[in-house]
Amino acid sequence: MSATTYRICLLPGDGIGPEITAEAVKVLGAIGERFGATFEFTEALLGGAAIDATGSPLPEETLTKAHAADAVLLAAIGGPKWDTTDPAKPRPEQGLLGIRKALGLYANLRPVKIFEALKDASTLKPEFLEGVDMLIVRELTGGLYFGARARETGVEGAATGGGVGMRAYDTMEYREYEIERIARTAFEAARLRGGTVHSVDKANVLESSRLWREVVHRLHAAEFADVELLDQLVDNTAMQLIRRPAQFDVVVTENMFGDILSDEASMLTGSLGMLASASLGDSTALYEPSHGSAPDIAGQGIANPLAMLLSVEMMLRYSFSMNEAADALSTAIEGVLADGWRTADIADASTLPQKTVGTSAMGDLVTGRLAAAE
Ligand code: IPM
Ligand code: MG
């Protein structure tokens, strides 16, 4: 049998990262068997693990392996062990930001959807969650994260009382092409979903937002007039996400606003443990769960692998065009949840104690459903 071979670069990272990566590999094995594909894995270091082994959060070898792969699957990075405000010390997050930039991953897609079986997990009243299914499209390689920044010492008038002290700044900078390409991603997604685009900015204050709005509207008029476009100021969006979340379909915004709004939106689902993400560039893509490395539960075998598996689903869809396999995976996950199986983070008062399972058992349940459905 001449199965297609896909090369995946695994970046297990820190904390619970290695545990949930193992489940992704397990599930991809089952997918490969059922759908006649072969997945080849290489593993590389990123974040704290890379700092410990090499001194750098993003070793050259990791970039080489990531470039050579068809897709990159990242688990999570960071932890208190490496927390520092000393600018001279390496931080795990530099590895993540560095790989986003180096691979040109400018479009970060963060779907927020409510799983029927988990709708009571949200802190919002269930009636407000009816119809919530949105896609946050976050610009990922520009803005405040990558603009000029510095800390200066010996600045006149900077200290309390007006003496000589320190000053620090970060710059929010956008170029037309950066805005245009992320807006295109958003409009194309909205067209596919048959939905609207909310373009979120702070055009009443920021020059970069005024350029954002201009470019988004220009592209809209030229190529996407069939898609409904709405402008919204970021503070209003923060409020509307809680007030009436179902109004949103595709939300497109700059890097920092997207960072904040996507964490806020994730809580509509009640669990960060269920949210996947894809970071797409022109030549490659990286998939990662939206949650962090959860160092407090690392190594205990209790982490929820589902956001990681949902990231695998996105990888199958976006990088390998294996839509049938992606659908099967998502059906398997929904089935496992509908049967009442939960990891500790999504368990509630109604969960039977014998149905609260660990990381590996959850992976087995999903794999079992994938195989059984053949
Ligand atoms: C995210 C994270 C990262 C970000 C951190 C870890 C640098 O919060 O992916 O949203 O701010 O982009
Ligand atoms: Mg974030």
Q: Which fold has domain 1-111+272-374?
A: Isopropylmalate Dehydrogenase (3.40.718)
Q: For the chain, how many residues are written?
A: 374
pLDDT for 269 equals: 87
pLDDT for 1 equals: 47
pLDDT for 305 equals: 97
Dihedrals φ, ψ of 160, to 5°? Answer: -55, 135
| The two three-digit tokens of residue 182, written as one number | 């992320």
Residue 312 C-beta-side C-alpha neighbours within 13 Å:
32
Residue 259 annotated among the catalytic residues of the structure? yes
Q: Whole-angstrom Cα distance, residue 8 to residue 66?
A: 8
The alpha carbon of residue 281 and the mean position of all alpha carbons in its chain are separated, in whole angstroms, by 14
Residue 262's closest CA among 116, 102, 139, 141? 139
Pocket flag, ligand 1, residue 180 (CB < 6 Å):
no
Pocket flag, ligand 1, residue 93 (CB < 6 Å):
yes
For the CA of 290, the nearest ligand: 1
Three-class DSSP category at 154: strand
**Global pTM exceeds 0.85:** yes
Same CATH topology for 1-111+272-374 and 123-143+175-269: the answer is: no
* Residue list, CB under 5 A from ion ligand 2: 259
pLDDT for 271 equals: 80
**DSSP H helical ranges for 224-254:** 234-243
Q: Whole-angstrom Cα distance, residue 356 to residue 207?
A: 51
Using most ligand atoms within 8 A of CB, pick from 77, 94, 96 the residue to mutate for ligand 1: 96
Pocket flag, ligand 1, residue 139 (CB < 6 Å):
no
pLDDT tens digits for the chain (374 residues)?
Answer: 457 999 999 999 999 999 999 999 999 999 999 999 999 999 999 999 999 999 999 999 999 999 999 999 999 999 999 998 888 899 999 999 999 999 999 999 999 999 888 888 888 888 899 999 999 999 999 999 999 999 999 999 999 999 999 999 999 999 999 999 999 999 999 999 999 999 999 999 999 999 999 999 999 999 999 999 999 999 999 999 999 999 999 999 999 999 999 999 998 987 888 999 999 999 999 999 998 999 999 999 999 999 999 999 999 999 999 999 999 999 999 999 999 999 999 998 888 889 999 999 999 999 999 988 66
pLDDT for 2 equals: 53
Answer yes or no: are the C-beta atoms of 24 and 312 closer than 8 Å. Answer: yes
Q: What kind of architecture, by CATH, is found in domain 123-143+175-269?
A: 3-Layer(aba) Sandwich (3.40)
Distance in Å, CA 236 to ligand 2 centroid: 19
Q: Which residue among the candidates 83, 235, 327, 339 is catalytic per the annotation? A: 235
pLDDT for 123 equals: 86
Across 302-316, b (16+ Cβ under 10 Å) vs e yields bbbbbbbbbbbbbbb
Ligand 1 atom closest to Cα of residue 262: 10
CA torsion sign for 215, 216, 218, 222 is positive
Domain definitions of the chain by residue range: 1-111+272-374, 123-143+175-269
Q: Whole-angstrom Cα distance, residue 279 to residue 272?
A: 18
Strand ranges inside the chain, DSSP E: 4-13, 37-43, 71-76, 107-113, 133-139, 149-155, 165-170, 197-201, 229-233, 250-253, 276-280, 285-289
Protein residue closest via CA to atom 7 of ligand 1: 93
Q: Which residue among the candidates 174, 201, 202, 287 is catalytic per the annotation? A: 202
pLDDT for 374 equals: 60
Answer yes or no: are the C-beta atoms of 95 and 57 closer than 8 Å. Answer: yes
Protein residue closest via CA to atom 5 of ligand 1: 93
Q: Which residue among the candidates 6, 145, 174, 287 is catalytic per the annotation? A: 145
Who contacts 357 (Cβ-Cβ below 8 Å, separation ≥6)?
A: 341, 342, 343, 365
The angle at the Cα of 325, spanning 365 to 18, to the nearest 5 degrees, equals 50
Give me the residue label for tokens 């208190």: 80
Protein residue closest via CA to atom 1 of ligand 1: 259
Q: Whole-angstrom Cα distance, residue 374 to residue 371?
A: 6
Q: Whole-angstrom Cα distance, residue 29 to residue 40?
A: 10
Give me the residue label for tokens 């092409």: 177
pLDDT for 348 equals: 85
Pocket flag, ligand 1, residue 96 (CB < 6 Å):
yes
